[in-house]
Amino acid sequence: MEPSNIDIEIIKDNSLSLKEKRVLFTEDNLEGDGMDNERIQQVKLASAAFSTSMISRGGILDFSINIENTLTDIIAWCFYPTDYNWDGYIYSQLDEKGIILKATLLRQIDFNEKTKILKDILIAKKLLPWNDIKTLINNITKDLDHVRDFRNMLAHSPLDISKVTLDTLKYKKGEGTEDFVIIQYKKGRVIKQKIDQKRIQDEMRIMMRVMYRLIQLFALLKGDIEDAKVSESLSNLSNEETKEVLKGLGLWKDEKMAQ
């Protein structure tokens, strides 16, 4: 299809951002193809759901990557402990052997196996009295399993943009949707999961909790009791505190919704 004169003007207009050009170009082509208004509206609603899905899923996946990376760093350090000054960054505590282990063997091991390895290496090397950290490790394991399952669900479930589903979503002017629905294929069944801000908030609270628990564990391994206490406190954020973190990540907005 040849570009229209309007399309060419949009492309040439350097005052417009790439995002603005994409929106104008899409709307111009939708309206110019003789599509009925109902279909155009459905495409726009689907685009709004896609926007919210990308932001929410991206935030969760990004955080889960950092959690797994932190877990990997701790495992590598347990194999090759160092006495470097503790500066709050676990990666900086790895020596050359630890980095090589992380960059070769550990990078090929999946999330689930790393969770098991953490417990096994702590017991095998007796880096800390097991009775002192048993509860902490069990809590970390439980949260890591939950984070992994939720991450995998988001990463492998397509967005539901059927008309029936789009009609149930809550839309916000210029801000996408308040929620979105993904389709999960599990054990021969199709399961639809609605993901709203409360679900994102609950999941982020769990992710922040396990991240601070991992830092708490490493602080204990380094013998920094004060930092361990601070991390333990941070692992128990309230709903309001979690909301503030979500706002900083762009995953929570307080504007009034528009139907």
- pLDDT tens for residues 127-160? 999 999 999 999 999 999 999 999 999 999 999 9
- Structure token digits, residue 101: 């282990």
Q: Tell me, what DSSP letter sits at residue 159?
A: B
* Mean pLDDT, residues 99-123 taken together: 94
Alpha-carbon span 172 to 160, nearest angstrom? 18
What lies within 8 Å, CB to CB, of 193 at 6+ separation is: 153, 157, 181, 182, 184
- Structure token digits, residue 69: 């990376």
- pLDDT tens for residues 5-43? 444 454 444 554 555 444 444 544 555 555 577 777 888
Q: Is 0.85 topped by the overall pTM?
A: no
- Structure token digits, residue 199: 């679900």
